Chains A and B, each alone.
Chain A
Amino acid sequence: DSGVTQTPKHLITATGQRVTLRCSPRSGDLSVYWYQQSLDQGLQFLIQYYNGEERAKGNILERFSAQQFPDLHSELNLSSLELGDSALYFCASSVTGVDQPQHFGDGTRLSIL
């Protein structure tokens, strides 16, 4: 058990819809990261937050947004969903935001029908 909790584990929805994925980091970790894992793109970094502020951005689509709340949990919002958004979305956390091992949750599997 990594201590990182992601909900829900599975999400099935239709094109054009909007979903929210939730992540609770390990106790004491200030930084949260979001990654997308798909068969064609592999594991891709989306975005990082540190203590409530955006720290780094990767190949995150404009239809996607995220935030980190004062209690340090984070949400990833995906809107206007397309078939290609079907993937496994991982959240990870670390103590600081720099050069630290990241601890991953079990992921949310998103299926777009």
Chain B
Amino acid sequence: GDSVTQMEGPVTLSEEAFLTINCTYTATGYPSLFWYVQYPGEGLQLLLKATKADDKGSNKGFEATYRKETTSFHLEKGSVQVSDSAVYFCALITGNTGKLIFGQGTTLQVKP
């Protein structure tokens, strides 16, 4: 079945460091890909999305490119802030439903 695999966390970085969170997927057909972020005590917020190969999603300094050849959708940010500390989820949708399939989540801790 369809699945999403994320890099293990937690990831701990100093402020202004470069961030990469790896995400790979397995899917039949052509999925749409998403990154969601969950701040402590809150629900998930959509961070960015890409719907077809080579699309780049971007928001709030975060970027991810849909790579069909490597079935990947890695999240990057050039300079992280303490306020970026949260859990990040990679997810996909396939087929004709809205069923989101999530990775296990990666916790990011940014230290001042």
Contact = CB atoms under 8 A, between A and B. Distances in A.
B46 A103 contact: yes
Nearest to A45: B99
Interface in A33-77: 33, 35, 42-43, 45, 48, 55-56, 58
A97 B102 contact: no
Given A43-B102, A43-B105, A106 B97 contact: no
Contacts of B101: 45
For chain A, the bracket of interface size reads 20 to 34
A100 B34 CA distance: 10
Contacts of B51: 99
Nearest to B49: A101
Interface residues of B, number: 23
A98 B43 contact: no
A106 B42 contact: yes
Given A104-B43, A106-B43, A43 B99 contact: no
Contacts of A96: 98
B88 interface: no
B98 A31 contact: yes
Interface string B90-112: 00010011111111110000000
A21 interface: no
B27 interface: no
B73 to A, nearest CB: 15
A104 B102 CA distance: 14
Interface in A85-113: 90, 92, 94, 96-107
Contacts of A20: none
B99 A58 contact: yes
B44 interface: yes
A56 B101 CA distance: 13
Given A42-B104, A43-B102, A43-B105, A97 B97 contact: yes
Contact of B98 (A42, A90, A100, A104): A100
Interface of B: 32, 34, 36, 41-46, 49, 51, 89, 93, 96-105
18 contacts: A33-B99, A33-B100, A43-B100, A45-B99, A48-B98, A48-B99, A56-B98, A96-B98, A98-B96, A98-B97, A99-B32, A99-B93, A101-B34, A101-B46, A101-B49, A102-B46, A104-B43, A106-B42
